[in-house]
């Protein structure tokens, strides 16, 4: 179907977002057309601000507006442990729990030979430099429970352990409220492997 150029370009732009197909992009484009001009302008400013005003923390790789993120600046946090995650959104997910009081390190990806992603392509070198220059006693690896996440966790463990730093991995297994009968084999394996005494 033919659409005027501005709508067609907006549809194409929305389709660049993950999980947005042609139908959803068209619906969003027409919704945008019906929005108040001030709201559209504010939306456009927000998009531009995200690209212009945010960058990665010089220490941990989290997103921030300053050289150091708020977490790295917070001296009340436990400076002896660092939790390693794949992406900045993982930091935000962990912070919602309000239980972890240590520092973070964001890898910005995982090792994936199939995709051509090696150790030099993610934020590993800065983690090693950070461990050498600080009093960190424990590294908690919190990569996802995927093949790539597990491979990255194993690689980091082998790299860090010789330095005498404790390396732990977040527990994986059954989620709260789930039924054993519906869990896949790997989830059950991880649940048994990560069991703890009561």
Q: How far is CA 40 from CA 19, 33, 36, 194, in A?
A: 22, 9, 6, 49
The 10 Å CB-count burial string (b at 16+, else e) for 108-133 is ebbbbeeeeeeeeebbbebbeebbee
Tokens of 47: 């998009």
Q: What's the confidence (pLDDT) of residue 2?
A: 83
Q: How far is CA 161 from CA 35, 80, 166, in A?
A: 55, 15, 7
Q: What's the confidence (pLDDT) of residue 76?
A: 96
Q: What's the confidence (pLDDT) of residue 122?
A: 95
| Residue 13 to residue 195: CA distance in whole angstroms | 46
DSSP symbol at 117: B
Q: What's the confidence (pLDDT) of residue 181?
A: 75
Cα-to-chain-centroid distance, residue 86:
4
Q: What's the confidence (pLDDT) of residue 1?
A: 67
CATH number at 5-53: 1.10.8.420
- Check if 5-53 and 74-192 are the same fold: no
The ranges assigned to domains in the chain are 5-53, 74-192
Close Cβ partners of 122 (under 8 Å, ≥ 6 residues apart): 107, 108, 109, 110, 111, 152
Task: Provide block-wise average pLDDT over 10 residues at a time, the chain (198 residues).
Answer: 90 96 96 96 96 95 96 95 95 90 96 91 94 92 90 94 91 74 77 71
CATH number at 74-192: 3.40.1360.10
DSSP symbol at 174: P
Tokens of 63: 């997103």
Q: What's the confidence (pLDDT) of residue 173?
A: 76
Q: What's the confidence (pLDDT) of residue 184?
A: 77
Q: What's the confidence (pLDDT) of residue 13?
A: 95
């Amino acid at each position: 179907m033919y659409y005027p150029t501005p709508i067609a370009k907006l549809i194409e732009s929305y389709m660049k977002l993950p999980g947005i197909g042609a139908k959803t992009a068209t619906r969003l484009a027409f919704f945008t057309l019906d929005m108040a001009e001030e709201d559209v302008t504010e939306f456009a400013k927000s998009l531009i601000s995200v690209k212009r005003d945010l960058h990665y923390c010089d220490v941990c790789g989290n997103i921030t507006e300053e050289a150091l993120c708020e977490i790295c600046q917070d001296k009340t946090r436990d400076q002896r442990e660092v939790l390693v995650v794949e992406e900045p959104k993982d930091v935000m997910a962990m912070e919602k729990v309000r239980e972890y009081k240590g520092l973070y390190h964001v890898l910005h990806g995982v090792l994936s030979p199939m995709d051509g992603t090696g150790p030099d392509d993610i934020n590993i070198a800065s983690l090693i430099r950070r461990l050498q220059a600080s009093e960190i006693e424990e590294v908690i690896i919190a990569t996802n429970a995927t093949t790539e996440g597990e491979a990255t966790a194993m690689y980091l463990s082998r790299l860090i352990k010789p330095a005498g730093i404790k390396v732990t991995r977040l527990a994986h297994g059954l989620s709260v409220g789930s039924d054993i009968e519906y869990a896949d084999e790997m989830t059950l394996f991880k649940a048994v492997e990560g069991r703890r005494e009561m």
